[in-house]
Structure 1
Amino acid sequence: MSTGVAAAADQTCADRTDSTGRPPGSLLRLATCGSVDDGKSTLVGRLLYDTKSVLADQATAIEEVSRRRGQDGPDLALLTDGLRAEREQGITIDVAYRYFATPARRFILADTPGHVQYTRNMVTGASTADLAVILVDARNGVVAQTMRHGAIAALLRVPHVVLAVNKMDTVDYRESAFTAIADEFTRRAGELGIADVTAIPMSALTGDNVVEPSTRMDWYDGDTLLAHLENVPVGTEPVRKPMRLPVQYVIRHPSEHRQVVERWPAGQLVSGVLQVGDRVVVQPSGQSSTVAGLSVLGQETHSVRAPQSVAVRLADEIDISRGDLLSAGPTPQLLRHITASVCHLHDRPLRARQRVLLKHTTRTVQAMVERIDYRTDVTDARRLPCEDGLSVNEIGGVLIRTAEPLAVDDYRQNRRTGSFLLIDPQDGATLAAGMIDAGPRTGRAPAGH
């Protein structure tokens, strides 16, 4: 469940909206990705530096180091490439999370690595993102790694994509160079199923169109990167989806009207809206009841909305425990045979007939990888044969059989209840991250089979 401060902030934001319908101070989760040396670390540093999100002593230290190196201005990449190995190689090799805010919005930025062998890190960073910023070097245009990142963003159903055409200063800020790159990426992104692409010409080194509008590209009349990040609509999609509440904990609560101790299921509402009087179904048991009361931070309320945390009082005594799922509206599918795409995260290969633990929301069950159907070429989303299992960083399609039925949604419909982790039962290592295909194409077996 959320901390008290976070939950209180969510409650406040849910009650107030600005003229655009967006809660003031709303949160945007974004991931940055790009090929090696496309200037991603400099771009993140520029965002932090120009939004005054850097401590004064840190900014001074960066400026002094840059002067000693003979650079004219601060090397903003130093703000993000904190690992020694990164500094020595000039590349980013791990996901780093940065937090900053403007008067319009709060941001959590996942700075993901560019090397192909760190595909798993991008999957980690983009899995919860509302928006992906894909960098392109204006001199090189769209390359294989660009489309690899585009394919992963499409696979993970990231709602919004920004194509940041960086280093425009190296091509004399020419409109034709930008247009050719933007047109090619937009066309190829459409083939991957990405509908929302915003292309922005910029130079992270000089600051053009990052936070401040460029005076050298008067042919561009769109938003700067920061202005786009502040105004892109987010936060409403989970609320519009069917109500899903994974039970994280069951609170023993003394009853005011009866001499008994009531059991209130509690957890974070991952999608939808829940109100007093709603009829809910407990999965996987299928029992149903009516919501008699809701409590947020110990205060009674009539309704809650994702992603608030809440304790629920039901009208009926029902056996509920951690791992159950409260649902309303269209019911989730109860499956023991799950067709999914997975990104393999571990150095040990994932093989057919391998026994694993599957963690779905707050529920963990024993499972087996029945078969591996294919691996995906992430540059163009083609499906290729897979005979020896999935190696680290590879993405592929699998069929998993679970020991107990799971209440799931298709990942395309609900990213929270449509995703899972595979865990090694021997040492607890995370093996793979999965996205469930619960649509009509799965050919799934009935829940009891």
Structure 2
Amino acid sequence: MGTPTTPTTPAEAASLLRLVTAGSVDDGKSTLVGRLLHDSQSLLTDQLAAVVEASQVRGLDTPDLALFTDGLRAEREQGITIDVAYRHFATPRRRFILADTPGHVQYTRNMVTGASTAEVALILVDARAGLGEQTRRHTAVAALLGVPHVVLVVNKMDLVGHAEPVFAAITEEFTRYAAALDVLHVDAVPVSALHGDNVVTPSTGMPWYQGPTLLEKLETAPIGADPAARPARLPVQYVIRARTSGHREYRGYAGQLTSGRLRVGDPVTILPAGITTTIAALDVLGEPYDEAQAPQSVAVRLADDVDVSRGDMIAADPLPQMTRDVAATAVHLAERPLSTGDKVLLKHTTRTVRAVVTDIPYSIAVDTLARVEPTDGERGRLRMNDIGRVLLRTAEPVAMDDYRDHRDTGSFLLIDPAGGDTLTAGLHTEGPA
């Protein structure tokens, strides 16, 4: 899970905000994204010209901002070849990667991809319709994935007469629901994406709202905890073997630091073997460095001749838990159900191991948050878009953190061993969902 673009330096990571948009069909999400891009002057001249021309062909006097995203979304929803549309834009204050997820209920699973690395979730609601099942489902997914900040965007305020009581009622209901999901702080903005009210510029039609615009909230939203401040985790993606000019063998272990710092001389542990050694050298983009930190990609050379392979993890204290019994909150992504007793492949960082589903004790009804347990004599089962609790037993130990502490090393995918299809996204948590 993750976005297609990863900062290569700590400075780039510090200036970048990842956000995900989610909402029901016809809530105006395409228009909102188009308005953000248009009014923040993040569109190329030819992109704008193409939309203006297409809008004129449709007989419209003004550009249809939804066209900036609908072309890609149509392709995605017809063929499922693109499950999330990523948009890059920038203002003088910050750079953004926006994951625009589908609104149809059958594509709820795709929000998992967009929200897996997001720091802000924009939950869009039509002011006329209020909270629906899909709104609640998207909010539950954002909460389960640990998205740090949630912004409720109440759209189409122009169609309810810019009425403050409508906005207040929706905000109160949403805040109660979010609190039940342990989302304790919700920002809310009343907007009209069609007319640009409170998206980038303040609205003249809602003088009762004195808060920041949506873009101002995004520009000032705190970026999450520095990944370099957590214990070091380097899943080994590639083993580099080469002969140096002096005919000595070079052996490096390359991957992306998901968290923490590594310095020359630091003690580390190779997992799952549990062998301890120290860092002899660090190479970043072929150049020697004394220190590397998340999210940099790095090649590590070790002081001792130890056996390290792709899928191993180089880690610093405190170490992740080595376990064969994995308890997780899971979002099922595939049409084929996931059932107790199923044999699967568990893909965790760069490591893939065989596993069996030992139990699915309950699913979660996202509208009420109630646990739905299997009836007597029936095996636990998750169907597409279901969220539930899954217990697994792996054939080999896996070095897994709690998802609430490390999103990258606390998440995994379940894969069909026969066809290679992705079945389920899991979040390893010891406590209840």
1:191 pairs, out of 176, 180, 187, with: 180
Q: Does 1:383 align with 2:371?
A: yes
Query: 1:129 and 1:208 mapped to 2: Cα distance?
Result: 25
- For 2:347, the equivalent position in structure 1 comes to 359
Read off the aligned partner of 2:294 and give its amino acid letter. Answer: A
- The structure-2 alpha-carbon separation of the partners of 1:291 and 1:88, relative to structure 1 and needing over 3 Å to count, comes to closer
Query: Helix, strand or coil for the counterpart of 2:88?
Result: strand
Task: Give the 5 Å matches for 1:160-239.
Answer: 160-234=149-223, 236-239=225-228
- When the two structures are superposed, what TM-score results if normalisation uses the length of structure 1? 0.88
Tell me the distance in 2 between the aligned counterparts of 1:167 and 1:302: 54
Match of 1:291? 279
User: How far is the alpha carbon of 1:164 from its aligned partner?
Assistant: 0.5
1:114 paired residue number:
103
Alignment map for 1:264-279 (pairs within 5 Å): 264-279=252-267
Unaligned stretches of 5+ in structure 1? Answer: 15-22, 443-449
After superposition, residues 432-447 of structure 1 pair within 5 angstroms as 432-439=424-431
State the match for 1:43 in structure 2.
Answer: 32
Q: Which sits farther off after the overlay, 29-38 or 60-69?
A: 60-69
Contact 1:152 1:378 in 2 (8 A): no
CA gap of 1:175–1:123, structure 2 versus 1, over 3 A, is same
1:250 to 223, 230, 239: 239
Aligned to 1:10: 9
- Distance in 1 separating the partners of 2:116 and 2:193: 25
Structure 1 position 12, deviation (Å): 4.9
Closer/same/farther in 2, CA of residues 276 and 87 from structure 1, 3 Å limit: closer
Q: CA deviation at 1:11?
A: 4.9
CA distance 1:87–1:158, shift in 2 (3 Å): closer
The one-letter code sitting in structure 1 at the alignment partner of 2:190 is P
What pairs with 1:142-161 in structure 2 (closer than 5 Å)?
142-161=131-150
Q: Map residues 30-179 of structure 1 onto 2, 5 A cutoff.
A: 30-82=19-71, 94-179=83-168
Percent of pairs with identical residues:
60
Query: Contact 2:148/2:224 (CA < 8 Å) preserved in 1?
Result: no
Distance 2:20 2:89 in 1: 14
* Larger CA deviation: 169-178 vs 321-330: 169-178
Q: Partners of 2:73 and 2:257 in 1: how far apart?
A: 40
Tell me, in whole angstroms, the C-alpha distance in 2 between the residues paired with 1:276 and 1:175: 59
Amino acid at match of 1:371: D
Change over 3 Å in CA distance of 1:385–1:321 after alignment to 2: same
Which whole-Å CA distance do the structure 2 matches of 1:357 and 1:60 have between them? 48
1:335 corresponds to: 323
Whole-angstrom CA distance in 2 between matches of 1:271 and 1:6: 13
Q: Distance in 2 between matches of 1:395 and 1:84?
A: 25
Give yes or no for contact 2:73–2:102 (8 Å, CA) kept in 1.
no
Counterpart position of 1:412: 404
- Cα distance in 2 for partners of 1:34, 1:13 equals 29
Q: Are 1:316 and 2:292 counterparts? A: no
**Hey, which bits of structure 1, 4+ residues long, moved more than 4 A?**
83-89, 253-256
Q: 1:87 to 1:322 in 2, by over 3 A?
A: closer
Q: Helix, strand or coil for the counterpart of 2:118? A: coil
Shift of 1:253: 5.1
Q: What is the distance in 2 between the residues matched to 1:255 and 1:275?
A: 23
Secondary structure of the 1:82 match is helix
Q: CA deviation at 1:188?
A: 1.8
Give the paired residue count: 423
Contact 2:257 2:293 in 1 (8 A): yes
Task: Write out per-residue CA displacement over residues 49-95 of structure 1, whole angstroms, 9 at most, x where no aligned residue.
Answer: 12222232332232233234333421111111115858999xxx952
Q: Summarize the Cα distance change of 1:428–1:104 in structure 2 as closer, same or farther, 3 Å threshold.
A: same
Indicate the residue corresponding to 1:446 in structure 2.
Answer: none
Q: Which amino acid is the alignment partner of residue 154 of structure 1?
A: A
Q: Which residue does 1:18 correspond to in 2?
A: none
1:192 is displaced (CA, Å) by 0.7
| 2:384 corresponds to | 392
Scaled by the length of structure 2, the TM-score of the pair is: 0.91
- The Cα of 1:33 is off from its aligned counterpart by 0.6
| Partners of 1:234 and 1:56 in 2: CA distance | 31
Paired residue secondary structure (1:318): coil
Give the aligned residue type for 1:181. I
Matching residue of 1:424: 416
Cα shift readout 1:207-232 (whole Å, capped 9, x = no counterpart): 11111222222332322111221221
Farther off after superposition, 47-56 or 418-427: 47-56
Give RMSD over aligned pairs: 2.5
Cα separation, partners in 2 of 1:153 and 1:88, compared to 1, 3 Å:
closer
Residue type matched to 2:19 in 1?
L
Partners in 2 of 1:81 and 1:289 — Cα distance?
Answer: 53
2:38 counterpart SS class: helix
Higher deviation after alignment, 65-74 or 148-157: 65-74
SS at match of 1:370: strand
The structure-2 alpha-carbon separation of the partners of 1:271 and 1:188, relative to structure 1 and needing over 3 Å to count, comes to: same
Deviations, residues 333-387 of structure 1 (Å, cap 9, x unaligned): 1111111122111111112211111110000111111222111112233220234
